[in-house]
Structure 1
């Protein structure tokens, strides 16, 4: 809600919202000295370049430049307004916001989204109450007993029951003052084709709430009881629910996934519930769609390893084949738990027991290469010489793509033992395959230099930072860590900073410490409404500095800053002299430039 929030309330919310804990809900953070590091949620990367400072309560990505405080993090990640972010953090910290009037900048869209989420929460409570507390919920309870659901499962997953009735939710929504058209847009109701009004989309189904990253209910999965079709029905795509970005049980499983640094990925809600019952709490599932790159990135932000445990049939194997490259592209280590033909995780737990399921997860998972070696045999007659030779060639080509020679040697040994082949022959074939692969990879490098894409962020293309800019950054970093430095710099720096954004940050900082001399720098970063300056401040706060800046060092930095305009002026005068064909004056100016350059380099 776009409203003026009192400063004291903002301070209370900020102090209750530790940035490591908040960002840790979205990014797997690891302690790295005095800071925390992880994969940046704002751009694709496989090597962590995202850093969070618990002391300074700021974050910065050294890959893409994103940075700021706990408020800007959520604004950038979720696309929320400042007021929405404050509201979320206040709710998270159980801090009551004062009642205030909306302003003309309050978006109707925000109210619509809030109403959708309110409707879903009301629906989840209604379905759950019907199943657990009413006589009408008896068919749902009978079905839950047939599926061997425990009371713990029913409570943990908030399982509910949708009555075989057309207007259960529609009536409840109307009583609670919710807009039925908005509820239809959110996937809970449907508009009648004939006549007026709306009817419930889910009827006579066991219901499973689907939550977003914050734990808010945003959709449902429903399993038909009786002859209803389709057997499984998920909510449609809505403004608050996107299947390609949502994993069932992710919010609930996140703490366990991070603790184990591993996630178990299955194909459906029943499989999740069976695994959870067996004590496997780091389990999540896709929602009737293939694994997407967004799913993979979400998993990688929370764990390094993903175990695929899909149905033990042809379709399940095909889904595994497609999921592996998606997960690897996101930087995940992938393992595969192959189930017997015709069994899914839910079936396996029922037939073999919970302990057996945990045992195969712990002891019988395959590496990607081991799975591919097994999978490539499908459809081949290994008694046929041609099929055997084709199989060996395909495996060697796969081994050529592996990065580690130990891994290559391990699987070559297996291949040699399986087909009674000499290791030296297989090594020769592997070398040949590697040469061919290298040639294929090198082909694009023959393109003219102008055709190559440039990002401006490659290490080799980085230009050295000019001395005056480096000096400005160091002084600003010192000032952000010690308000006394603000006064020391302001006394000696007459002309100000050369770079526009440095001067802007300096001006804001000087004004801030003048108004609030005892306020913290965390409060200063929070007060910056300009995202560009907030990012710069976060970046500078993350820079390692000596405890103190001596008077001599301060004088050197200021001299570099003040001499840069002189350098620019001399260059302009030299160009003018050349234009006027005055070689003597141009030569004198050149000597002055050389002297100034030496002076700068000596500092």
Structure 2
């Protein structure tokens, strides 16, 4: 963090932003006491363990251990660098960042991701201007003929790449954009055998800017106007864009998804835009790829339910089969919405309207039930049911969670009318060879944290005003746990250099320490509601110091007793006398506590 921006700017940004409000844009949070609770966006879980503390401006997941402040959250969520998160949050907070080599693009120029995003925004403005120019008149008319409202065209930033080989290239050169980076962004194509030959990737195409959840343009999709192939051309993957991890339209639809309680998955740009134009706002689209685990996890940040629009053909059934496993693994309730043959979502809403599609979604069967009925199937004869059971077993073996797997076995056996034990035997018979090849993960037993010592450091971190009295009492010298002693001493030095430590200072401090079980235990305590009352800090700290010291004396007595017994057994009377005197001295000291 040092050397990138002055610390006071970081503090100013934190003071202006509320971590609960920020995280609520990505995770559905519910109040739980003084904290807020939700499903973790960083790992798959059934029960919410992701905790946000407004007072301390920190988050912690009890499931996977991810923790931090607003900067750590955005960096982890967007796979961003600190400077990227800093700029994003500074813009949000209205904090002007001072000019720096990073921001000027000097020696420490923005990384590839940031440069690509900047270039994409320049290109998007160019495409929009083209659409509104005389040269884009026919394209604009085409959009309006499809019934798109002007507000929808503006919302999604639609544009036009003109029918020329180097129009965008010339514009980027005028804007002093690096053509090397424009090529990395996928806007310019450079011939491998002739690097001097460079031309626009998108020509005579309707342009769809692809934005991340923050609204930054990370890629483009282009639809050919007139004849030509491919019909749709997408940006290649880059430092800013991974199609399997992004959903088109999510930046616009996330609030509606949260409000409705479910998100609708469609396949194409026009499918999404048509639904949006028809008043259905809780919709996202995959970007030229099949649904992925990352897509499902992304939607689950905002809602517990989903609906997927499938075609009724064979390709649609295959897509359905792939999707079921993803939703089951994510513990997400999903519905399979099957459209009439020959109609995609765009065609459907233009013919029947948005309300008709919403009714289909409401009436749609569970994706699991639909999959069992249509893909696994069944049959009247013993042979047909047996074949269905084999298909089911092949699918069920892919479900990793044991509880989900057994629930699926129960559901399929009931649907097919076959014995549950027979199906279970088939499934686990397939799994056994695989399991035997996999070595069980080794787990080291967790070291139990020393109660009195953890409690005292917890108090020191929650209430830094007690630190001087702890230092004065030499309490750290009585710590048996060396790691906790090191943390406590370092925290004492940290506090002595801070005039008035903020509530979140302890988290910042712990993030700077070597990750360990002890520091993790302290973070878990800090994220929870403080058990300490300001009125009783004096007596409480004195009592905790006594507990730490008594524990130390108890261990010393135990050690001396064992050594004394050994000395007596070996006949070493001199050592025995010394140990006895040491034991008596300790007893006198302990009495004075």
Give 1:297 deviation, angstroms. 1.8
| Aligned with residue 525 of structure 2, among 540, 544, 547 | 540
> Paired residues, what number?
573
Matched residue, 2:180: 181
Aligned partners of 2:101 and 2:109 also within 8 Å: no
For 1:180-579, list aligned pairs within 5 A: 180-192=179-191, 194=194, 196-362=196-362, 364-376=363-375, 386-387=383-384, 390=387, 426=417, 429-433=418-422, 436=425, 440=429, 451-456=439-444, 464-466=448-450, 470-496=451-477, 497-523=479-505, 525-526=507-508, 530=512, 532=514, 538-544=523-529, 545-547=531-533, 553-563=540-550, 567=555, 571=559, 574=562
Classify 1:5/1:160 alpha carbon distance in 2 versus 1 (closer, same or farther; 3 Å).
same
State the alpha-carbon separation in 1 of the partners of residues 103 and 125 from structure 2: 32
TM-aligned CA distance change 1:557 to 1:225, over 3 Å = same
Match of 2:18 in 1: 18
Whole-angstrom CA distance in 1 between matches of 2:435 and 2:407: 32
Spell out, residue by residue over 1:496-521, the C-alpha distance to the aligned partner (whole angstroms, 9 max, x if none). Answer: 44444533443343334434343422
Partner of 1:582: 570
Question: Which deviates the most, 186-195 or 242-251?
Answer: 186-195
The 3-state SS of whatever aligns with 1:113 is: helix
Distance 1:116 1:404 in 2: 43
Q: SS of the residue aligned with 1:370?
A: helix
- Tell me the CA shift for residue 573 of structure 1: 8.6
Task: Compute the TM-score of the two structures, normalised by the length of structure 2.
Answer: 0.83
Whole-Å separation in 2 of the counterparts to 1:120 and 1:257: 27
Report the alpha carbon displacement of residue 80 of structure 1 after superposing the two structures with TM. 4.0
Distance between the aligned counterparts of 1:185 and 1:74, measured in 2?
Answer: 24
Question: Structure 2: how far apart are the matches of 1:404 and 1:451?
Answer: 21
CA deviations 1:106-151 (Å, max 9, x no partner) are 87573433221111011111111211x2010023223323433221
Whether 1:171 aligns to 2:156 is no
Contact kept in structure 1, 2:224 and 2:232, CA below 8 Å: yes
Deviations 1:289-340 (A, max 9, x none): 1222222222222221121112232111210110110122122222111111
Cα gap change, 1:501/1:120 in structure 2, threshold over 3 Å: closer, same or farther?
farther
Contact kept in structure 2, 1:26 and 1:301, CA below 8 Å: yes
Unpaired segments of 5 or more residues in structure 1? 416-425
> Structure 1 residues 6 and 134 mapped into 2: Cα distance closer, same or farther (>3 Å)?
same
Q: Identify which range, 193-202 or 434-443, moves more after superposition.
A: 434-443
Q: Which runs of 5+ in 2 are unaligned?
A: none
Give the CA deviation at 1:12: 1.7
Which is further off, 333-342 or 194-203?
A: 194-203
Q: What's the TM-score once normalised by structure 1's chain length?
A: 0.82
In structure 2, relative to structure 1, the CA distance for the partners of 1:254 and 1:564 (3 Å cut) is same
Contact 1:202 1:222 in 2 (8 A): yes
> Is contact 2:127–2:207 with CA below 8 Å preserved after alignment?
yes
Q: How does 1:35-184 map to 2 (within 5 A)?
A: 35-101=35-101, 110-131=110-131, 133-184=132-183
The answer on whether the counterparts of 1:36 and 1:51 sit within 8 Å (CA) in structure 2 is yes
Instruction: Tell me how far 1:412 sits from its aligned partner.
Output: 8.3
Moved more, 515-524 or 431-440: 431-440
- Tell me the SS of whatever aligns to 1:9: helix
Matched with 1:419 is: none
SS in 1 for 2:31: strand
- 581-590 vs 93-102, which moves further: 581-590
Q: Look up the SS of the partner of 1:92 in the other structure.
A: helix
Aligned counterparts of 2:255 and 2:471: Cα–Cα separation in 1: 48
Rounded Cα–Cα distance in structure 1 between residues aligned with 2:113 and 2:102: 16
Question: Which residue number in structure 2 is paired with residue 422 of structure 1?
Answer: none
SS of the residue aligned with 1:258?
A: helix
